[in-house]
Copies of this chain bind each other. A is one copy, B any other.
Amino acid sequence: MSKTKQDIEGKQADFELSANSYGKSQVRISKIIRDGARHEIKEMAVSVKLRGDFKDTYSTGSNAKVVATDSIKNTVYAIAAEHPLGEIESFALTLAKHFLSYEQVEAAEIDITQDFWKRISHNGREHEHSFVKGGDEKRLTRVVHDRKGTTIESGITDLYVLKTTASEFFGFVRDKYTTLQDVNDRIFATAIEARWFFDEVKEEQPRDYNNIFDSNKKTLLEVFASHHSLSVQQTLYVMGEELLKLDDTIAEVKITMPNRHRIPFNVEPFGLKNQNEIFVTTDEPYGLIEGVVRRKV
């Protein structure tokens, strides 16, 4: 029940900060890596979140323990200048460890998404310094590092795929709110987001994150292409299993697949025969299917 402002003055001491974080988002970096005439371009957006002993700035505005978000931004560029950027996971981990060099920081969470550039083909060869955007998909990682340990997840997002057949959906609940008919041949279009969560990091056991990414992306595409789907959920689960089979340091895989519906357009009012050919491409509303697949313990 609401109270008037007068009823409740002087109660400030009754409240407390229960959680806090701050940082800098969307720090966008381009780095050229030169190997003689052959260049690579790395482009990514970095977000940093810090948690720790920052209550003073909330309660009194004293910023003595606050690393300014402008300094966080500077740090990201400065460390990127020295880091080879071979793998976003390694860069994120280096950043996270750096931020724990401030004793007031209890945990650092680093998110990186990387765009793809592929070499332009020129005279039948890959060009040494010219690139075309690789597609909508992005590689991502999230590293969370605190005084107790480190968790690393990696993944891919915005991987747009579509198949024109081998997708069915039938036998679902049929009640007063059901108008959808069973369908044995539908378009299946989605934007895959898959995140794989690694077992706890042990320093002595480095991983080849690039290779894992490439394998997982390839596997996601192959499962999507070849799986005869009875539901989005079923295809999602097979994807999760296949990723877990590929690398036994992955503990868990989370996959999200919006169902970007292509809705049959009824051409019969115009004297045409419906041949399951013409669809309305829609963005919303969309089905949203999520699942986490893990190893049994």
Contacts of A279 in B (CB 8 A): 29-32
Residue A171 CB within 8 A of the other chain: yes
Contact at B178–A71, with CB atoms within 8 Å?
yes
Contacts of A277 in B (CB 8 A): 31-34, 81
Contacts of A120 in B (CB 8 A): 161, 221-222, 224-225
Count of chain A residues with a beta carbon within 8 Å of a chain B beta carbon: 155
Contact A75 to B177, CB < 8 A, known contacts A134-B135, A164-B41: yes
Residue A176 CB within 8 A of the other chain: yes
Q: Which residue of B lies closest to A240 (CB)?
A: B15
Cβ < 8 Å to B, chain A residues 65-90: 65-71, 73-75, 77-78, 80-82
Q: Which residue of B lies closest to A221 (CB)?
A: B120
Q: Tell me which of B2, B28, B244, B272 contacts A284 (CB under 8 A).
A: B28
Chain B nearest Cβ from A149, distance in angstroms: 20
Chain B nearest Cβ from A55, distance in angstroms: 9
Cβ < 8 Å to B, chain A residues 175-199: 175-180, 187
State the number of copies, please. 4
Contacts of A287 in B (CB 8 A): 22-25, 69
Q: Which residue of B lies closest to A104 (CB)?
A: B173
Cβ < 8 Å to B, chain A residues 130-173: 130-137, 159-166, 169-173
Chain B nearest Cβ from A98, distance in angstroms: 9
Q: Which residue of B lies closest to A54 (CB)?
A: B233
Contacts of A232 in B (CB 8 A): 22
Contact at A163–B130, with CB atoms within 8 Å?
yes
Contacts of A21 in B (CB 8 A): 290
Contact at B237–A59, with CB atoms within 8 Å?
yes
Q: Which residue of B lies closest to A246 (CB)?
A: B2
Of the listed residues A11, A63, A254, the one surrounded by the most CB atoms of chain B closer than 10 A to its CB is: A63
Q: What are 18 pairs between A and B in contact, CB < 8 Å? A: A8-B245, A12-B241, A20-B290, A20-B291, A20-B292, A22-B289, A29-B280, A29-B281, A30-B281, A45-B281, A63-B230, A65-B173, A77-B267, A81-B267, A120-B225, A129-B163, A130-B161, A131-B163
